[in-house]
């Protein structure tokens, strides 16, 4: 099931599913560890003697975010009970706490007593053995812990004293016990106060709704490394009040989402909204230690008993490139630090890493055909250099890049220059989809891009010999790609060639969207006639011929395939569809040529979940999300495509007098608008704002 709503702060990430169940709690790293292991945390309502879980039918659920911020806007309705609940959830931008607000409205003309039940099903450190749970009478809160992972749950009604009115802790999944959540279904809790092993808990808050009136119920979940940590956070929530924490977090993320003057007036409201939403969703998937995580939807474990909650250097480089293009260099710098820590001593990057920098699981072998082989895909070494050069070229932060020069850039460049065969092509490795061994168009282009980035670094840092060597290897590689990847008979570039005896290569004739790497990374111009022919064939043979549309990865793609119709090449992928849009943008010669990519941007916005979340794939029959959601790469590719579109459109649409874009809004203008809204503009300007920062940060 997709994760329709992720919210987080870089240390704590929580995901809600389509029925508004809290499913994933990642702490202390985004992507590691999932303290719920995908098990649902339930919420229930008791009213007029009737008990129901809010995720069950006939409750209706509308899941969205508040505009331009990481605060949820969820509406739950139950016409049979004449109850509506409006919910707001935030992870505080500073404290490690989830704060939830439930405004319960009574549509009956008489007063009614209600109870909200909050269920917790922790699997601390991703397994339940040895967990403990107890009721702490001092804060009147529930606490779960194991080792140095502690979690405190508390709440209150309106502004009354905090603390649960009822509680129970108990065993789950043992001796026939489903869990303490079953104890809640009669509207009463046992009051059991401690248990160990496989445990869960429920706390309840009581109030009375006035006739045709409402009441606000607050719930919070604090995370820490000790009892002192979580009780301190609990005190912060009470001292500040939960509504202040929600308000400051909403303001912080609105400021972040609009921090750069990306002019969006040329976009439809739907595409502009998804652009800002994509930036925010990408931010939720970035760990404070720099790791950019591919996806945190834990349900994928049912498919392969593993997750996407890892840092692929390739994925991260593409995401960092898009964020840098959008102006978020402060967000991407820690990623390059992360890369420098995990790079091998031989210069290359292995398959993927955990967010804490340890080596992650892999299916790439170290042994093949009787010989040792490197378990790598070479794009994961080339693209970090490509992204780092883009970062440096855009922001000119010499002091930031200087430590990477000998530490990361030189070793990676040396590896790329050495790891080539006699033809000049990279030696075989795994492809963009991590499925096949060979020499791939995507990988060749990524390796070339890494070498060219290294050559530029060497040149600006004064190492002329290294610059000439890297550029020469890159030039030979480009020529070899031109000679060997182009198939005259097919009239297109091939996705893969495989080395054989005597330097010969066999050809893989499957049409594959990953050939887009040849123009995406600049190895060949997008309007090169061979590239044009390749893209036309790709569009003809990979476009999904249903009412849903979109571009598949490659012909006969079986991964997570959602249809048995052999005429359908595969599920549509957001990134592949957007690559087609990027090619259309690059080859546009007049503003009218941008209509096609604009249509594809609208296609993406239409296929997003109501919250704005983009999955990895789309069901070709009904448009539903397939595989993980959100996929960080999908959102970053959307951001990149929008920026490419706006840049190209701006080139066509300039003031004939001054030559500048017709409309623009800079960062200072945005701040002025926000301050004016807050009525803080009396007597001073943005440039004269006093420094009122708290040196210790927010509390």
Model pLDDT for residues 355-370, shown as the tens digit of each residue: 999 999 999 999 988 8
Q: What is the mean pLDDT of the chain?
A: 93
Mean pLDDT over 58-85 rounds to 97
Give backbone dihedrals phi and psi of 421, rounded to 5 degrees, phi first. -95, 175
- Per-residue pLDDT of 458-486, as tens digits, reads 999 999 999 999 999 999 999 999 999 99
| Relative orientation angle of helices 269-284 and 313-326, to the nearest 10 degrees | 130
Which of 214, 180, 223 has the alpha carbon at shortest distance from 83? 214
Task: Select from 450, 462, 346 the least CA-distant residue to 398.
Answer: 462
- pLDDT above 90 for 685: no
Could you say which DSSP state residue 658 is in?
T
Q: What angle do CA 277, 16, 570 make, to 5 degrees?
A: 70
Residue 420 has pLDDT above 50, yes or no: yes
Judged by average pLDDT, the poorest of 175-189, 201-215, 234-248, 681-695 is 681-695
Kindly state the tokens that stand for 149. 């992972």
What is the rounded CA–CA span in Å between residue 409 and residue 447? 13
Domains for the chain: give ranges and CATH numbers: 3-247 (2.70.98.10)
Nearest to 93 by CA among 241, 250, 295: 250
Name the pTM for this structure.
0.94
Structure tokens at 218: 């607050």
The pLDDT of 590-619, averaged and rounded, is 98
- Does residue 689 carry a pLDDT above 70? no
For 354, counting Cβ atoms within 10 Å of its Cβ (0-12 exposed, 13-18 middle, 19+ buried), the class is buried
Average pLDDT for 502-521: 95
Residue 680 has pLDDT above 70, yes or no: no
Give the pLDDT confidence of 626-661 residue by residue, as tens digits: 999 999 999 999 999 999 999 999 999 876 777 765
Go through 201-222 and write b for each residue having 16 or more CB atoms within 10 A of its CB, e for each that does not.
bbbbbebebeeeebbbbbbbbb
**pLDDT tens-digit profile of 133-144?**
999 999 999 999
The helix-helix angle for 379-395 and 329-342 (nearest 10°) equals 140
**Cα separation values, 358 from 291, 339, 351, 354, 588, Å:** 11, 12, 12, 5, 44
What's the CA gap between 17 and 280, in Å, rounded?
18
Sequence-distant (6+) residues with CB within 8 A of 581 are 596, 597, 600, 601, 641, 645
With 90 as the cut, is the pLDDT of residue 683 above it?
A: no
* CA pair distance 670, 596, nearest whole angstrom: 31
Q: Give the model's pLDDT for residue 668.
A: 55
Tokens describing residue 634: 């999908």
Q: Would you state the pLDDT for residue 673?
A: 62
List, for residues 524-565, the tens digit of each pLDDT value: 999 999 999 999 999 999 999 999 999 999 999 999 999 999
Q: Judging by DSSP bridges, how do beta strands 486-487 and 437-440 pair with one another? A: unpaired
Q: Is 414 within 8 Å of 432 (Cβ atoms)?
A: no
Confidence of residue 260 (pLDDT cuts 50, 70, 90): confident
483-496 average pLDDT score: 98
Preceding omega of 189 cis (within 30 degrees of 0) = no
The whole-number pLDDT of residue 693 equals 38
Helix (H) or strand (E) holding 8: strand 3-8
Around Cβ 257, how many Cβ atoms within 10 Å? 19
Q: Vertex 415, ends 412 and 417: CA angle to 5°?
A: 110
Confidence of residue 690 (pLDDT cuts 50, 70, 90): very low
**Average pLDDT of the residues in 339-358:** 97
Query: What would the mean pLDDT of 222-249 be, rounded to a whole number?
Result: 98
Model pLDDT, residue 501: 83
Query: Is residue 174 scored above 90 in pLDDT?
Result: no
Instruction: Give the pLDDT band of residue 303 (cuts 50, 70, 90).
Output: confident
Residue 268 has pLDDT above 90, yes or no: yes
Higher-confidence position of 329 and 259: 329
pLDDT higher than 50, residue 220: yes
Decide if 395 contacts 459 (C-beta within 8 A).
Answer: no
Cβ 533 vs Cβ 540: under 8 Å: no
**166-171 and 83-91 beta bridge pairing:** unpaired
Asked if 6 contacts 72 with a C-beta cutoff of 8 angstroms, the reply is no
Tokens of 174: 């043992």
Confidence of residue 669 (pLDDT cuts 50, 70, 90): low
């Amino acid at each position: 099931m997709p994760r329709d709503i992720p919210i987080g702060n870089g240390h704590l990430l929580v995901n809600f599913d389509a029925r508004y169940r809290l499913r994933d709690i990642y702490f202390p790293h985004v992507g590691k560890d999932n303290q719920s292991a995908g098990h649902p945390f339930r919420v229930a309502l008791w009213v007029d003697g009737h008990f129901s879980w809010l995720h069950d039918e006939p409750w209706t659920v509308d899941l969205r975010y508040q505009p331009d911020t990481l605060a949820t806007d969820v509406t739950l309705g139950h016409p049979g009970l004449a109850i509506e609940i409006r919910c707001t959830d935030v992870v505080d931008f500073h404290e490690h706490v989830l704060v939830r607000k439930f405004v319960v409205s009574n549509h009956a003309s008489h007063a009614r007593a209600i109870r909200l039940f909050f269920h917790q099903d922790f699997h601390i450190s991703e397994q339940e053995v040895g967990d403990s749970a107890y009721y702490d009478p001092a804060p009147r809160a529930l606490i779960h812990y194991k080792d140095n992972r502690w979690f405190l749950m508390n709440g209150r009604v309106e502004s009354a004293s905090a603390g649960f009115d009822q509680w129970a802790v108990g065993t789950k999944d043992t001796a026939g016990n489903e869990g303490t959540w079953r104890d809640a279904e009669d509207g009463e809790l046992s009051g059991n106060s401690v248990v160990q092993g496989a445990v869960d808990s429920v706390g309840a808050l009581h109030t009375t709704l006035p006739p045709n009136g409402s009441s606000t119920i607050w719930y919070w979940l604090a995370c820490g490394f000790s009892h002192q940590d979580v009780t301190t956070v609990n005190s912060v929530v009470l001292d500040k009040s939960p509504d202040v924490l929600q308000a400051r977090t909403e303001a912080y993320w609105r400021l972040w989402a609009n921090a750069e003057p990306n002019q969006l007036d040329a976009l439809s409201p739907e595409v502009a909204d998804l652009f800002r939403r994509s930036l925010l969703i990408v931010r939720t998937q970035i760990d404070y230690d720099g790791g950019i995580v591919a996806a945190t939807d834990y349900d994928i474990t049912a498919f392969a008993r593993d997750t996407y909650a890892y840092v692929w250097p390739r994925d991260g480089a593409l995401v960092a490139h898009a964020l840098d293009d959008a102006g978020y260099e402060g967000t991407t710098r820690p990623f390059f630090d992360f890369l420098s820590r995990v790079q091998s001593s031989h210069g290359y990057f292995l398959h993927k890493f955990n967010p804490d920098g340890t080596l992650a699981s892999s299916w790439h072998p170290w042994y093949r055909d009787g010989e040792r082989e490197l378990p790598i895909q070479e794009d994961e070494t080339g693209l970090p250099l490509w992204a780092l050069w883009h970062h440096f070229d855009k922001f000119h932060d010499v002091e930031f890049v200087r430590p990477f020069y000998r530490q990361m850039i030189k070793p990676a460049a040396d590896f790329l220059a050495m790891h080539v065969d006699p033809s000049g092509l990279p030696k075989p490795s795994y492809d963009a989809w991590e499925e096949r061994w060979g020499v791939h168009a995507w990988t060749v282009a990524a390796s070339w891009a890494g070498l060219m980035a290294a050559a530029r670094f060497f040149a600006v840092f004064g190492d002329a010999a290294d610059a000439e060597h890297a550029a020469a290897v890159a030039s030979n590689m480009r020529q070899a790609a031109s000679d060997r990847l182009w198939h005259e008979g097919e009239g297109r570039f091939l996705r893969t060639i495989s080395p054989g005896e005597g330097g010969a290569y066999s050809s893989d004739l499957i049409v594959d969207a990953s050939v887009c790497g040849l123009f995406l990374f600049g190895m060949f111009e997008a309007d090169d006639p061979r590239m044009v022919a390749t893209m036309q064939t790709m569009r003809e043979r990979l476009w999904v011929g249903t009412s849903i549309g979109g571009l598949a990865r490659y012909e006969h793609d079986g991964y997570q395939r959602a249809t048995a119709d052999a005429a359908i090449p595969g599920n549509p992928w957001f990134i592949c569809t957007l690559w087609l849009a990027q090619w259309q943008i690059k080859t546009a010669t007049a503003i009218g040529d941008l209509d096609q990519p604009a249509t594809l941007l609208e296609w993406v916005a239409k296929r997003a979940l109501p919250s704005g979340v983009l999955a990895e794939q789309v069901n070709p029959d009904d448009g539903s999300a397939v595989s993980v959601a959100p996929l960080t790469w999908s959102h970053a590719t959307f951001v990149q495509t929008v920026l490419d579109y706006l840049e190209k459109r701006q080139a066509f649409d300039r003031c004939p007098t001054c030559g500048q874009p017709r409309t623009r809004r800079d960062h200072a203008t945005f701040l002025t608008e926000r301050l004016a809204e807050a009525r803080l503009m009396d007597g001073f300007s943005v440039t004269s704002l006093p420094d009122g920062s708290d040196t210790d940060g927010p509390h």
